[in-house]
Each structure stands twice: as C-alpha cells, then as structure tokens.
Structure 1
Amino acid sequence: MSRLSERRTECLAVLVPVVVMLAIGLWGLDRGGMWRDEAVTFQVARRSVPQIWHLLGSVDAVHGLYYLLMHMVLAVHPGEVLLRLPSVCGAVAATGLVAALGTRLCRPRVGLWAGLLYAVTPMVGHYAQEGRSYALVAAGVVGATLLLVRAVRGGRWWPYGVVLAVTCLLHEFAVLVLLAHACTLALARVPWTVWQRWGCAAGAVVAVLLPLVLVSWGQAEQVAWLAAPDGRSVEQLLERFAGPSPVVLGPYLVLIALAGGMARSKRDLSPAGVALPLMVIPPAVLMGVSQVSPLYDDRYVLYALAGAPLLAAAGAERVAGVLSRLRTGHRRVPTVPRQTSYAGGVAAGGPLLPAPRGPAGHGGSIALRHAPRMSTSRSNGAVPPSSWVRYRGGALLGVLTVCAVLLVQFPLLRADRRADHRPDDLAGVSALVGRQVRPGDPVLFLPSLERRSALAYPAGFGGVRDVALDMPAAEDGTLYGREVGPRELRRRLGGLTYVWVVSGPFAPGSTWTPPNPTERAKLALVTQEFIIREEYVRRGVTLRLYVRREAPRPAV
C-alpha cells in the first residue's frame, strides 16, 4: 500500500466517526428547555466579565474558565442551541481524537471502530448536548493523551503540557489523568529521559492548577450533596461507559478483557497500555478519595470513557487476528503497532531492535533501530487482493457491528433528546407562572435556588414581586441573589393575603429542615400562616398559591 493510500485510509478512519458524532450531537439539539445546571451556565455566562469574576470568588470557581468561554459564545446570540454547541464540538473533537489515537497506536480500522463506538455511546451523546464543560474536558484529555504518545515517540512535550493545563482549568478533576499517563509510561518502560520530560510537563500542569484548587477547596459546600460511591456506583459507571443493555455490555466487557491481556510490560506503547489506565485510574482514584470526602460523580470522569472503546476495538482486532490465522492455517509474522520508536519520526512498522549507543534523539529519548520492514505488497506496490479483502472486510464487519450497537441503544439516544428526560423543566415552570401569576403578584422561592427558573426564563416572571429578594444575583456575585433576613421576611409577608410559592420537590410538606435561617422562616411562615388554595406540578418544581388562614396583620 502506498503512503498516499495509507494516509487516505487513516483520514477516513477519523472522518467517518467524526461525521457520525456530529449527526448525533446536532440531532434534537433544541429540545425546548434548559435544566438546572444548564440554566446556571446560561445566566452566569450572560453577565459581564467583572460580574463573573465577582461570582467566582464565592462560588463555582471550578467552572470559571468555562463561564468565560461561554460568555464569548453567548455574546453572539443568547440561545439554547448556541449554549450547547460548544459541547457538540467537544464531543466531535473527542471522537476524532479517539479514532486518531486508535489509528496511531494500532491501525486505521482499530481507530475507526474505537471512534464509532465512542460516538454511539449514550453517555457521550448525553453530554454532547449539555451546556456544561464535560464534553470539552473529554476532548482535552484525549487530545493530551494523543500528544503524550507523540511526545514519547520523539515529539515535543510543551503541547502536551499546554493542552492538559487548559483542560484542567476547565475542570480540575481532569488532573487525575496524570496518574493514568504515569501508569502508561511505566507499562511501556520508557527511558529515564522520557520520565524527566514528562515530569517537567506534569509539574507545570500542577503549578498552573494549584491556585484554582486552593480557591475551589474553600467552596467545597457546593458538592456537599454527593454521597460516597459503592459497588453499585462501579456497576453504573461500567454500564454508562459501554451501554446499559446486556446485549451490548456483555460482549463489550469481553472485548475489553481481551485487550487488557495485551498490556504487557514491554518497551512500546500498546493500545491497552494507553487505554486501560485512562479508563480505570481516574474513576478509581476519585471513588477512593470519595470514601473519605465524597467528590465522585460519573460526569466528573466522563473523559475516562475514551479508554473503553479503544480497549474494545483493540480486543476486536485481537479476535480478528486469531480468526485470520485460523482461516489461513498458519501463523503470521507478528506485527507491532506503527510508530513504536521512542525517537523522532515515523517508524516503519517492523520489529524493534536496539540501536547502537549514541546521542539521544529529539526529545531526549533513546533512539531505536528498526529491522527491515516485511511488506505484504507485490513488486509494483499494490496490496494483494486477498489481503485487501481480508483487511477491508474486517473493517466493514466491525462497522456493521457498531451499527448493530447503535440500533440497540437508539431508544436511549432518542429519549435523551426530549426535555422531559432531564430532572426539571425550567422553561415549563416559567410558562406556567406566566399563565397563572398576574403582574404585581408576590412570589416566594423555596429554597432560593428555585429562582433559577426566573433567571433562565425571565419572560414568564415579568412584573411579579420577588418577596424575599434583597439584591439581584449579578450584583451580589452569587448564583441566585441575596435574600433578606428572617425578620424582614416576616414583615414583608405580614401584610399579604396570598403568595405564590415556587418550591422544589422536597419543600414544603416534608421533613426537610433547611440550614439557612431565612429558608427556615419561609417554611415556617407558609406552613403555619397560610393554606394551599391551588397547586400546579411541573417536573421537579411545584407552583402553589397560598392564602392566609385569617385576616392579615398590619405591617410594622
């Protein structure tokens, strides 16, 4: 096969998954409503840069870079489609990078299979349409992993450090991939000079990230709702990485196990040696830490999912190799992945032999000499028809298998495109308030974070009177604004004959005891001095009209 044909095959192996992911990402992108996390992105990103900076000093510092990025994006047009479009782009980039990684570590058809598997995974499709940073973080981690492979094989180290530093600033838990990369280098038994250069890059990433870690550590109350993960958390993560259907999950895990057996301690970068640490180490470390201080959520380690399709594709390649040898009735000459030298340049693809001692190659690595390449081509450079059919036929069979996986998981992808597949419907709440509440009517948010529906969709709340609000969120540098104290709240409610309450599913009418004194005062006043006259329920949010039990007290 000529070099030009080889390049075309490699480009096709990357382009096909990219097109598939782009189609899945754009499909149903405007689902008609933001849920609570997207609403935070939307309302924060629309603030001025000084207001965003003011916010980050008290809350959400971990998402600061993402908010600044989205501020520029939404300046073009503040809408739901544009809110989610960067995540689509991140998922598309991650898909192409997964395919490129499989191609570089093994061969184009492995990259093709891995990229397609990544694209049709429901978890990837879900976060491709989330107005949050997780898809972009996944793209950054896979990109950094690809740059690691290039650097180990003789490339420059600074692109690896820069990409990983920016990725960690998008979400600080991406720093756990450094542990995965260290494991990859250990499995490959790289020379000491490679460890030194990687250590310098990793140290620079940690130094850049350290100020953000110190600030976000003081904002740890934001994740106080998280619980320590258990065995079921591990099962759920595996299901999300591969797909919850047993028809898909079983074979997927078998292929991963077959690929895992290929991770030997030898002087090269194998697909399993790169993908297995990426898939396992970040979730395992975060789950372990969360036994002491709960920090784990599966979206925080979305980037680790990239290792699963790479392993499955490598396992499928191993099965294809065994079947090919059985078909031909003899053992082929073992091949090694292309570009396995730690020196600069592209390896020929033959077995590695020690090079004579001499100066280190580019990047400080030890040069390795390649044995003469064993070509399967004829004298005119063409691939024999039988080899072409076997190779292309195997690639096509893998693509058809991925199509079958897509058909099995298609109902999950389709359901995820509906607005009612998210925990709440803030657009529906705003529309409901617009129909039922008249301009000038008093409204109480219980707890205050339910004000997010008014911040995300202010049209439905136009003209209403926010009883508890003291200072708007943008001016106060908070997510939901500053509220008055209990005494002032009692005074404001004291002269009202009725009040509309926008509440979460856990309050009022439950055993919920809010820690904030103003929230406790709200709960006590509406349950003791008012009765429910009307009630309207939307997914995750309830709108109630409360009327006073007796004549109102004069305001003091």
Structure 2
Amino acid sequence: MSLTLALGLWGIRRENTLWGDESVTYQLAQRDLSQIWHTAQHIDLVHALYYAVMHGIFGLFGGGLLTLRLPSVLAMSVAASGVGLLALRLAGPRAGLLAGLVFPLLPQVQKYAQEGRSYAMVCALVTWATYALVVSVRHRVRWRWAVYGSTMLLACLLHEFAVLALVAHGVTLVVSRVPRSVTRAWSAAAAGVVAGLLPLAVRSAGQSEQVSWIGGPVRLRYFLVVAVVGMACARAPLRGRGPVRLAALAVPILVLPGLLLLIASPVRPLFVDRYVLYSNIGIALLLGAWMDYFHRLRRWSRTAWIAVVAALAALVPSSLSLRTPQSRSNDATAVGAAVRQEGRPGDGLLYLSGRQRILTSANPEDTRFLTDLALAQDPVSSNALAGVELPAEDIAARMLEFERIVAVRAVGVHSPATPQEEAKTSTLRRHFHAYGTTHVNGARVTVYLRDHGPAAKPVPEPTARERAVG
C-alpha cells in the first residue's frame, strides 16, 4: 500500500494538465445528482455511479486535480494490499510480499492510478472480491458469499466489463474441482450479480454509439506481453495452499477478460486496455509466486539479481513518461490554452466535431470571449456532455457572419457524418482559408479567415507530417 501510494502521489498533477476523459469527469462531477442522472439517460450511463461518487467527493473536498485523482491513487493502494493478501493465502508470506510489490510497479497500474476515472476503483473491488472468493471457498460460510457477490456487483455497476472477472472466477472454480456445494454457492452469488447488472446493461446498450471510436484493439501489445509472461511463470511448480491454487486463480483473471473482448472484436471492437485493468492482478500474483519459487530453489545467482535490477531500471523511463502530458492521447488543458492564445475577442469558435467541445470545458475562461457558432444549448442545461448543436443550415449561416473562426479538430478521431459536420467543413472549404495552425497533443487549433473573392480558396488537407506532429 505504501509503495503504491508513493508512486501514485509522485507527479500526480502531470504538469497541471487534464486529458479528455478526465475533463468529462471534472465537468459532470460538479453537476447536481439530478443533472448527472438526466445526463446519463442520454450518454455515459455506464459511468453514472462513478460520477455520483465523485460528485460527493467534490462536495466534501472541493474540485481540483488532487481531488480528481487522489481517489484513484487510494483505490489502487487498496488493490495492492489485496493482491499481497491473495498471494499470502495462496502461496505464503514471501510470495505475498513480492506480488504486492510487483503490482504497483506495473506500468498500466501506475498509469491508471493517476487518472480521474473509475478503472482504479473497479480494480480494487475486483481484487477484494477475488479475495472474498478464496476465503469463501475455504471456509464455506454463507455470509462470505454475500460479501463476494455485493463487491462484484458494485464493481460491475462502476464498469460493466468487470463482469468478465466473474467469468474468470467461474473458470477458476471449475479448474480447481471444488465441491459441488461451493459451485452452487458461487452460482447463486454470480446470478445475483448478473441480475443486478442486467438493467444497467440493457439501458446502456442503447448508448453503444459512444464506443464507436474503437476501430480495433487499443494498446493490445501490453496485454499480449503480460499474458505471455504470465503463462510462462505458470509453468513453474508454484507453491500452493488450500483448494484453490494460485495459477488456477491468476491465469484466468489475467487472460480471459481481455481474450473475451478480443473474440467479440469482429462483431464490435471493444478491447481497450483500461477496460480490463484488473487483469494485472493475475500477472502480479504469478510474478510474485515465480520469484518465490526461485528463492526456495536457492537459484538466486548474481545473474538473477542483475536481471531483476535491469528490469527495474527498464521501468524508470516508462514511469517518468507516464507522468507527462504526452502520455495520454490528448491534452485538454493544452487545447484550451491554444484556443485562448489564437482567438481574439469576438471570433467565432467551431468544433470539428461537436464532441470535441469537452476538450475546452474544464476552463471556461479559455473560450469566454469567443462565440460558439454551432451551439444551440449548453451542456449543463441540455443534460449532455457536449451540448446540443444548431441545424446544419443555421450553423452555415452563422459562420458567414464572422471574419475569423477558430476551429478545433481532434487528431486521429473521425468526425461523424452528420449534416452539421458536413455544413461546417463545406462552409470552411468554400468561404474561408486557413491562416495558421497550432498543433497540440491530440488536436489542431486552426484560425480561418473569410474569403471575399468570387472563387473560394480550397482548404488543403493536412500533410502526413502535420498529422504526425498533431
């Protein structure tokens, strides 16, 4: 816990920057609970409980980067303690200590321990639900199964894909050949979790468009690497205690959740590394038990120690990089600052697409003196993330009333083929020309000037170099 807390607090402000998803949390957590509920009816229902939790935390401690991210740091610290206790029960004190120390060093754990999103909380809940599972199998006390089921349900309500850990737990029990009474008790608890999650899953299925940005597996390499390393560790004769063996628990939770999302990818791409963050529980358990195994064999030669030191040294550049704004896919703070710098009082402001309005929502001062040309109703009053936009013809007409327009375009994100977006791009191409572009992490901020000649100047598409810089 102490190591995780120290690593989580190190560079937690990330140079006082936010990325887009954190900006959404920051915006919604400051709304009333009724507004959060009404917003969730249109979008982001899967995160509604998390926003409500953060609303309470903001109400107690005020807004700010520390308040936004510290709950994730604390949650990941709780997860680390759970990983240590799991390995202690399954393989002994030394394995518990090593697994608990490995967990906070994992790059993915360090990354999401410092993000104002729900994934660290989900990881903590899945960790302790897994611990409750192990204890329940051994002691067979009915109330322990109730603790397991309620903890898993809370994890699933924070993020639906936590239910994949439930599948991993089922495989663990099958592989472990536990008594039929244990299987029945787990099945009853699992049925309760699924029944509690079902209403949320049905309602949120109607909001599936919000994951349409996933064109393929996102950051798959990390999952593949840790899966291969974990499977290699599992081949060693690891120490085990009780009816559930460490490898039988760790391998399914490491491999199955991500594998199930990959299997679903041909139908609908859903694999994003943070959706199965809790799979790091498995690799930490396996590495801790594997190092314990080598220690018991007294094979810790000088070469082995050099290898451990080299592995720790290799983590340093990654740890440093994760604490910079460039470690995230975009930088909402930099986007807002670029808009404020390039815009002049009275300029028009255009988002390509309208969803990118969240990139400047954290600091209203960035856009205070600009006119949002497409906005019909602001995000708060419309109970939406990015507000409601005007009809296409109204947007085009408003654009022609301005001599200068500051346009925000996300890099690597395709604009939806809506009449509003087509009106924005076609009006810019026919009646404006690009005057200058500022590239920031994840976006381009371009100033357009109005053409008054008989022929419109075409707006050039960004070059490959510009896209790479952006």
TM-score, with structure 2 as normaliser: 0.89
Give the partner amino acid of 2:30: R
Given that 1:532 and 1:547 are in contact with CA atoms closer than 8 Å, whether structure 2 keeps it comes out as yes
Query: By how many angstroms is 1:513 displaced?
Result: 6.4
Larger deviation, residues 498-507 vs 269-278: 498-507
Check 1:182–1:454 CA distance in 2 against 1; reply closer, same or farther (3 A cut).
same
Describe the SS at the equivalent of 1:473.
coil
Map 1:39-438 to 2 at 5 A. 39-75=23-59, 76-154=61-139, 155=141, 156-229=144-217, 233=220, 235-239=221-225, 241=226, 254-258=232-236, 268-323=243-298, 404-438=310-344
Check 1:514–1:158 CA distance in 2 against 1; reply closer, same or farther (3 A cut).
closer
Aligned residues with identical type, % of pairs:
37
In structure 2, list runs of 5 or more residues that go unmatched: 455-470
Aligned to 1:357: none
Check 1:208–1:398 CA distance in 2 against 1; reply closer, same or farther (3 A cut).
farther
Query: By how many angstroms is 1:501 displaced?
Result: 1.3
Query: By how many angstroms is 1:470 displaced?
Result: 0.2
Give the partner amino acid of 1:218: G
Query: By how many angstroms is 1:268 displaced?
Result: 1.4
Larger deviation, residues 404-413 vs 221-230: 221-230
Query: By how many angstroms is 1:506 displaced?
Result: 5.6
Query: By how many angstroms is 1:124 displaced?
Result: 0.5
Map 1:476-555 to 2 at 5 A. 476-505=382-411, 514-550=416-452
Check 1:323–1:477 CA distance in 2 against 1; reply closer, same or farther (3 A cut).
same
2:8 to 14, 18, 25: 25
Deviation digits for residues 495-528 of structure 1 (CA, Å, limit 9, x no counterpart): 2222221222369xxxx66411101100100111
Find the aligned partners of 1:67 and 1:398 in 2 and give their Cα distance: 46
Aligned to 1:380: none
Check 1:152–1:89 CA distance in 2 against 1; reply closer, same or farther (3 A cut).
same
Aligned to 1:352: none
Query: By how many angstroms is 1:454 displaced?
Result: 2.3
Query: By how many angstroms is 1:253 displaced?
Result: 5.9
Give the partner amino acid of 1:29: I
Computed over aligned residues only, the root mean square deviation of the Cα atoms, in angstroms, reads 2.5
Give the partner amino acid of 2:440: R
Larger deviation, residues 171-180 vs 74-83: 74-83
Find the aligned partners of 2:108 and 2:168 in 1 and give their Cα distance: 21
Give the partner amino acid of 1:112: L
Given that 1:117 and 1:402 are in contact with CA atoms closer than 8 Å, whether structure 2 keeps it comes out as no
Find the aligned partners of 2:416 and 2:68 in 1 and give their Cα distance: 32
Query: By how many angstroms is 1:292 displaced?
Result: 2.1
Aligned to 1:383: none
Give the partner amino acid of 1:454: T
Deviation digits for residues 473-509 of structure 1 (CA, Å, limit 9, x no counterpart): 11112110101001111221222222221222369xx
Query: By how many angstroms is 1:529 displaced?
Result: 0.6
Given that 2:91 and 2:239 are in contact with CA atoms closer than 8 Å, whether structure 1 keeps it comes out as no
Check 1:199–1:161 CA distance in 2 against 1; reply closer, same or farther (3 A cut).
same
Given that 1:122 and 1:413 are in contact with CA atoms closer than 8 Å, whether structure 2 keeps it comes out as yes
Give the partner amino acid of 1:22: L
Given that 2:342 and 2:406 are in contact with CA atoms closer than 8 Å, whether structure 1 keeps it comes out as no
Query: By how many angstroms is 1:193 displaced?
Result: 1.2
Given that 1:470 and 1:483 are in contact with CA atoms closer than 8 Å, whether structure 2 keeps it comes out as yes
The count of residues paired between Structure 1 and Structure 2 equals 447
Check 1:399–1:26 CA distance in 2 against 1; reply closer, same or farther (3 A cut).
farther
Query: By how many angstroms is 1:86 displaced?
Result: 1.1
Give the partner amino acid of 1:191: P
Aligned to 2:466: none
Deviation digits for residues 96-147 of structure 1 (CA, Å, limit 9, x no counterpart): 1000000011211101111111111111000111111111111111100000
Give the partner amino acid of 2:157: L
Describe the SS at the equivalent of 1:412.
helix
Query: By how many angstroms is 1:46 displaced?
Result: 1.2
TM-score, with structure 1 as normaliser: 0.76
Give the partner amino acid of 1:470: A
Given that 2:90 and 2:242 are in contact with CA atoms closer than 8 Å, whether structure 1 keeps it comes out as no
Check 1:400–1:169 CA distance in 2 against 1; reply closer, same or farther (3 A cut).
farther
Query: By how many angstroms is 1:262 displaced?
Result: 7.3
Give the partner amino acid of 2:417: P
Check 1:459–1:198 CA distance in 2 against 1; reply closer, same or farther (3 A cut).
same
Check 1:128–1:402 CA distance in 2 against 1; reply closer, same or farther (3 A cut).
farther
Given that 1:503 and 1:542 are in contact with CA atoms closer than 8 Å, whether structure 2 keeps it comes out as yes
Given that 1:255 and 1:316 are in contact with CA atoms closer than 8 Å, whether structure 2 keeps it comes out as no
Find the aligned partners of 1:267 and 1:412 in 2 and give their Cα distance: 37
Mark the structure with the bigger radius of gyration.
1
Query: By how many angstroms is 1:91 displaced?
Result: 1.0
Describe the SS at the equivalent of 1:180.
helix
Find the aligned partners of 2:32 and 2:252 in 1 and give their Cα distance: 41
Deviation digits for residues 140-165 of structure 1 (CA, Å, limit 9, x no counterpart): 11100000011111142111011110
Given that 1:275 and 1:310 are in contact with CA atoms closer than 8 Å, whether structure 2 keeps it comes out as yes
Describe the SS at the equivalent of 1:477.
coil
Given that 1:441 and 1:465 are in contact with CA atoms closer than 8 Å, whether structure 2 keeps it comes out as yes
Describe the SS at the equivalent of 1:474.
coil
Find the aligned partners of 1:201 and 1:403 in 2 and give their Cα distance: 43
Given that 2:350 and 2:405 are in contact with CA atoms closer than 8 Å, whether structure 1 keeps it comes out as yes
Check 1:513–1:200 CA distance in 2 against 1; reply closer, same or farther (3 A cut).
closer
Describe the SS at the equivalent of 1:444.
strand
Find the aligned partners of 1:403 and 1:116 in 2 and give their Cα distance: 14
Give the partner amino acid of 1:289: A
Query: By how many angstroms is 1:319 displaced?
Result: 2.8
Query: By how many angstroms is 1:401 displaced?
Result: 7.2
